[in-house]
Amino acid sequence: MENVSGYFGSMVFDDRVMKANLSAGVYKSLRKTIDQGAKLDISVANAVAAAMKDWAVEHGATHYTHWFQPLTGITAEKHDSFISPSPDGGVIMEFSGKELIKGEPDASSFPSGGLRATFEARGYTAWDPTSYAFIKGKTLCIPTAFCSYGGEALDKKTPLLRSMEALNKQALRILRLFGNSHVKCVRTCVGPEQEYFLITKEMYDKRPDLRFTGRTLFGAKSPKGQEMDDHYFGVIKPRVAAYMEELNDELWKLGVLAKTEHNEVAPAQHELAPIYTTTNIATDQNQLTMEIMQKVAAKHGLVCLLHEKPFAGVNGSGKHNNWSLATDSGVNLLSPGDTPYENAQFLLFLCAVIKAVDDYQDLLRLSVATAGNDHRLGANEAPPAVVSIFLGDELTEVLDAIETGKPYRGTEKTQMKLGVNVLPKFNRDTTDRNRTSPFAFTGNKFEFRMLGSSNSIACANMMLNSVVAESLKIYADRLEGAQDFESELHEMIRKTIKDHKKIIFNGNGYDESWIKEATEKRGLLNYRTTPDCMPHLLDKKNVDMLTSHKVFSEAELKSRCEIMLDNYCKTVLIEANTMADMAKTEIVPAVETYALEVARTAAAKKALVEGLACTYETGLVKKLSQLTDMIALKAEELEEAVVELQGIGDVIGQSEFIRDTILNKMGELRAASDEAETVTAKKYWPYPSYGDLLFGVR
């Protein structure tokens, strides 16, 4: 195999390529834009565009696209060719700075939640120079933000970039107070661990539910599931290994640092983790990773399922968002330091996160809310819908000592005094308790584990960045006006611990008793579904906070809330329609055919042997008959509920009706059909079984 370092990032217009292909002056201006957000001169843009085009054409590209992340779906792109007619009747390959900076996709069918209608008919895309352009197939993809003409964000990247800026601003204020004058900027870094399922294309094609909705809407339990725990970190099957190898290759070419891969808990479930990078780039790369995962699977006769819950009764797929704060000089602000002063600074950032997560449990919960993820979070599957923080016993004891002024064991009975004591070295807690936490401190970063496998990480990170920016702002306001910095700092940390320790939970997050304690004793929020949490996006405290940091305007928040709920409704509506259709046109006829076969068998047997009772056949035909009646009835009830849903005028009402009625009807229809599957001969059942799907890739 060719040396990876030879082709890693070969399809990316990254810093190395920029340095080699741009004049020193142009490179310097562009870096200033990337690092400090300086305004980009059109002459610089023209030079960058020309170099980008030459490089892209050299690497086989014929088209370019402004690549962006609309509010639904993974990514969007509209391809334009580089070709311009030349006066001599031929063509030349052209690409100007103007085309690089701004594009105008015909975006009228992207969701805007009413925004575009109020302002202008079309949106435009704007180049994000902080994320590198790359070549996919024959197309140069230019990462862009997508806005309305009034400047309202219509995508996920714009608020993410704004939230990074908000956090940068507040974190710098804090660092200055600690005497750090050399740090130019603070960025958040993310390493998202991506879970997915692989099944064969052949079986996928036979399941309308998978094709239309990404998950199985029917399916009796397989005799073998994940009870043996024999898949987790198990030997990777050759076909899957070949897939992973090609996937890595493709990702490496695109500069994605795909690093670890292993089997997950459920059969057919796997995980891919890249090495962490700046949040903005990590977000683009995760979108790209999901896309490439599906593409490469197709080449191997496989289908990559990114749905949060493709199979009932089997572990769903999530995405772990490992998040940290780092300075431009590479210092991780969530890493306990070596000196008392660094420790105090670390504790302040730690407290900022604790306070933020407690104050804005709702925003974090809703940032990961989708119809698909409700199957995991709301159904006592890892982790629960209640947001809490795992710190580990050692760090929790340190915080206790600070709060109460009592001695801490590790410091030989001395009191924990900020600015005086060095923190004890924390060992990374790798117990299972940590793995059940929605938000765990893992030594020098937080792992936010509530994200669904298909979520864009932009949504979680724009909220995470914003809520932490808010804590830091409150701290900075107080510290900047303090008479005595050290005592104010100590008091603020102490008070944060006292007020917010209710969000800290080091026990087992899957325990029933935890949910009770969390909600009844501690008063933590438990929004089990998307309709439960999403409307809280518009709570006054949330709107005030998000607008004050300029992450969102109020109009943008309203539109987003509407789009997310609308998306939830559409998703479930498609599922409901698919279910009713499968039940009526395939499942009932299949069960009927089998019943007829059994009845014919009984009749034939009776004709042959006088006095034969055929008790088994009679009982089975009766059972099949009852089940077809039930399936038909439940399908009809579901269809009636869908008609009722369509009569509801507002999206909140619709989402609540789905939560309270449609999902129950779907559950009842499924239960009847799954029972029928267990008594119908396999060759009559129209779909591959769970066993076939989960153990089909060899």
Q: Which residues bind ligand ADP (CB under 6 A)?
A: 189-191, 193, 273-276, 322-324, 332, 444-445, 447
Q: Residue 193 or residue 639: which is nearer to ligand ADP going by CB? A: 193
In the list ligand ADP, Mg ion, none, the entry touching 316 (Cβ below 5 to 8 angstroms by class) is none
List b or e across 111-122, with b for residues whose CB sees 16 or more CB atoms inside 10 angstroms: bbbebbeebeee
Q: Residue 299 or residue 428: which is nearer to Mg ion going by CB? A: 428
Taking a C-beta distance cutoff of 8 angstroms, is the pair 369, 537 a contact? no
Residues binding Mg ion: number (CB under 5 A): 2
Determine, following the binding rule CB under 5 A, whether residue 320 of this chain makes contact with Mg ion: yes
Q: Residue 61 or residue 423: which is nearer to ligand ADP going by CB? A: 423
Question: For residue 404, which amino acid is it?
Answer: T
Q: Residue 193 or residue 250: which is nearer to Mg ion going by CB? A: 193
The first and second tokens of residue 685, run together, are 């059942």
Phi, psi for residue 147 in degrees, rounded to 5: -130, 165
- Each as own residue / partner, the long-range contacts of residues 640-648 (CB below 8 Å, 24 or more positions apart, any chain) are 641/576, 641/665, 642/573, 642/576, 642/577, 642/580, 645/569, 645/573
Choose one: 36-44, 314-322, 407-415, 607-615; the region binding Mg ion (CB under 5 A): 314-322
Taking a C-beta distance cutoff of 8 angstroms, is the pair 222, 326 a contact? no
The distance of closest approach from Cβ of residue 405 to ligand ADP in the complex, given in angstroms and rounded to an integer, is 32
In the list Mg ion, ligand ADP, none, the entry touching 445 (Cβ below 5 to 8 angstroms by class) is ligand ADP
Which residue, chain included where needed, has tokens 């005094």? 417
In the list ligand ADP, Mg ion, none, the entry touching 378 (Cβ below 5 to 8 angstroms by class) is none
How many C-beta atoms surround the C-beta of residue 420 within 10 A?
Answer: 13
Map residues 136-175 to x or -, x wherever contact with Mg ion holds by CB under 5 A: ----------------------------------------
In the list Mg ion, ligand ADP, none, the entry touching 411 (Cβ below 5 to 8 angstroms by class) is none
In the list ligand ADP, Mg ion, none, the entry touching 129 (Cβ below 5 to 8 angstroms by class) is none
Side-chain-side CA neighbours of residue 249 (13 Å):
11
Q: Could you tell me how far CA 211 lies from the centroid of its own chain?
A: 21
List b or e across 270-295, with b for residues whose CB sees 16 or more CB atoms inside 10 angstroms: bbbbbebbbbbbbbbbbbbbbebbbe
Q: Residue 193 or residue 261: which is nearer to Mg ion going by CB? A: 193
Q: Which of 295, 313, 294 is nearest to 305 (CA)?
A: 294
Q: Residue count of the chain, please give it.
A: 698
The distance of closest approach from Cβ of residue 273 to ligand ADP in the complex, given in angstroms and rounded to an integer, is 4
Residue 275 neighbours by CB under 8 Å, 6+ apart: 191, 257, 259
The distance of closest approach from Cβ of residue 364 to ligand ADP in the complex, given in angstroms and rounded to an integer, is 17
Taking a C-beta distance cutoff of 8 angstroms, is the pair 29, 44 a contact? yes
The distance of closest approach from Cβ of residue 261 to ligand ADP in the complex, given in angstroms and rounded to an integer, is 12
| Radius of gyration of the chain from its Cα atoms, rounded to whole angstroms | 28
In the list ligand ADP, Mg ion, none, the entry touching 402 (Cβ below 5 to 8 angstroms by class) is none
Choose one: 17-25, 217-225, 320-328, 394-402; the region binding Mg ion (CB under 5 A): 320-328
Q: Residue 193 or residue 617: which is nearer to ligand ADP going by CB? A: 193
**Using CA atoms, how far apart are residues 490 and 399, in angstroms rounded to an integer?**
11
Which residue, chain included where needed, has tokens 């509407």? 562
**Using CA atoms, how far apart are residues 289 and 136, in angstroms rounded to an integer?**
12
List b or e across 559-590, with b for residues whose CB sees 16 or more CB atoms inside 10 angstroms: bbbbbbbbbbbebbbebbebbbbbbeeebbeb
Choose one: 222-230, 249-257, 293-301, 313-321; the region binding Mg ion (CB under 5 A): 313-321
In the list Mg ion, ligand ADP, none, the entry touching 444 (Cβ below 5 to 8 angstroms by class) is ligand ADP
Q: Residue 273 or residue 551: which is nearer to Mg ion going by CB? A: 273
Q: Residue 187 or residue 528: which is nearer to ligand ADP going by CB? A: 187
In the list Mg ion, ligand ADP, none, the entry touching 659 (Cβ below 5 to 8 angstroms by class) is none
Q: Residue 193 or residue 556: which is nearer to Mg ion going by CB? A: 193
**Using CA atoms, how far apart are residues 528 and 518, in angstroms rounded to an integer?**
13
**Using CA atoms, how far apart are residues 636 and 39, in angstroms rounded to an integer?**
60
Q: Residue 233 or residue 616: which is nearer to ligand ADP going by CB? A: 233
The distance of closest approach from Cβ of residue 571 to ligand ADP in the complex, given in angstroms and rounded to an integer, is 28
The distance of closest approach from Cβ of residue 274 to Mg ion in the complex, given in angstroms and rounded to an integer, is 12
The distance of closest approach from Cβ of residue 679 to Mg ion in the complex, given in angstroms and rounded to an integer, is 41
Q: Could you tell me how far CA 308 lies from the centroid of its own chain?
A: 10
**Using CA atoms, how far apart are residues 444 and 441, in angstroms rounded to an integer?**
7
In the list Mg ion, ligand ADP, none, the entry touching 332 (Cβ below 5 to 8 angstroms by class) is ligand ADP
**Helix/strand/coil (H/E/C) assignment for every residue in 62-121:** CEEEEEECECCCCCECCEEECEEECCCCCEEECCCHHHHHEECCCCCCCCCCCHHHHCCC
Residue nearest to ligand ADP (CB): 191
Which residue, chain included where needed, has tokens 């029933």? 512
In the list ligand ADP, Mg ion, none, the entry touching 294 (Cβ below 5 to 8 angstroms by class) is none
Residue nearest to Mg ion (CB): 320
The distance of closest approach from Cβ of residue 437 to Mg ion in the complex, given in angstroms and rounded to an integer, is 11
Q: Residue 175 or residue 546: which is nearer to ligand ADP going by CB? A: 175
In the list ligand ADP, Mg ion, none, the entry touching 464 (Cβ below 5 to 8 angstroms by class) is none
Choose one: 97-105, 210-218, 283-291, 316-324; the region binding Mg ion (CB under 5 A): 316-324
Residues 190-209 within binding reach of Mg ion (CB under 5 A): 193
Q: Residue 100 or residue 326: which is nearer to ligand ADP going by CB? A: 326
In the list Mg ion, ligand ADP, none, the entry touching 273 (Cβ below 5 to 8 angstroms by class) is ligand ADP
Determine, following the binding rule CB under 5 A, whether residue 270 of this chain makes contact with Mg ion: no
Choose one: 36-44, 187-195, 539-547, 659-667; the region binding Mg ion (CB under 5 A): 187-195
Which residue, chain included where needed, has tokens 């962490």? 276
In the list ligand ADP, Mg ion, none, the entry touching 53 (Cβ below 5 to 8 angstroms by class) is none
In the list Mg ion, ligand ADP, none, the entry touching 190 (Cβ below 5 to 8 angstroms by class) is ligand ADP
Positions touching Mg ion (CB under 5 A) are 193, 320
